[in-house]
Amino acid sequence: QEGKFIHLIVKRVLDRSHKIDVTKYPVGLDSRVYHVMKLLNLEDYVARMIGIYGIGGVGKTTVAKAICNGISSSFEASCFLSDVKEVAKDFNGLVSLQQQLIIEVLNDKHTSVTSVSQGINVIKKRVHCKSALIVLDDVDDDNQIKALAGARDWFHPKSRIIITTRDKHVLNLQGIEEHEMYHLEELDGEQSLQLFSYHAFGRPKPMNKYVKLSKKVVECTGGLPLTLEVLGSLFFDKNSIEEWEYLLKTLKENQHKNVYM
């Protein structure tokens, strides 16, 4: 019964991911969303904080966006805080993120936050009144989490907090346990070829004369969706075998320099 419910939610998420700007070609997204939805357990009446971790470009933000788009209507409020680590570098960056959370969850544009400690107090005292879906995207320091979602008891029992990061240790420091995490791995060979083909040819399989070359390009990507998208777009307007071979040779020469990452 639980599995059936989650599959229905996954279908809703994927249906909406086509309409909302998540990703044009959601290759492999269904299984990824399914695993995260199991962790979120929307039917449970206890606030949950879960982590999605994996290397850069593997698709953490895409998964979080797809889920946010698909299930946000099940909550009284939602808030997607993008590029947390980058914003936090700015002067008063964490304060601005706290302000955004307060505005979006509480619909309060009048409370002005001037310090991180004040922001923590406002969030702790007021955000628990609403069920909220909150995403902290691309966190790299547990102090960022402490400032925005320091503990589960800050939140309403129906609230769900999703944290994406490259560094699993950040989740450990926050007290998120292994069974509350999802390790997002690279796409397999078949999925990688399919995603590359969509971006290079606008179809799920390469044109026959480009199959071997496409597989060689895919080998350079490590199964990273972002790299597959970039390279697929790069090859999109290359209309001869010679152009493909030249570009592939250039990519292999520069592979270890991360030129195309």
Which residue in this structure is represented by tokens 């939602």? 78
Parts of the chain with a pLDDT under 70 = 1-21, 255-261
Cβ pair 46, 160 in contact under 8 A: no
- CATH 1.10.8 maps onto the chain at 189-257
- CATH 3.40.50.300 maps onto the chain at 2-183
Whole-number Å distance between alpha carbons of 256 and 238: 23
Return the CATH architecture of domain 189-257. Answer: Orthogonal Bundle (1.10)
Task: Output the CA torsion 42→9→63→224 (10° steps).
Answer: 130
Burial of 173 (0-12, 13-18, 19+ CB in 10 A): middle
Q: What is the pLDDT of residue 17?
A: 47
Question: Which CATH number describes the domain made up of 2-183?
Answer: 3.40.50.300
Whole-number Å distance between alpha carbons of 137 and 83: 6
What angle do helix axes 116-126 and 142-149 make, rounded to 10 degrees?
50
Buried (b) or exposed (e) across 202-233, using 16+ Cβ within 10 A? eeeebeeebeebbeebbeebbbbbebbbebbe
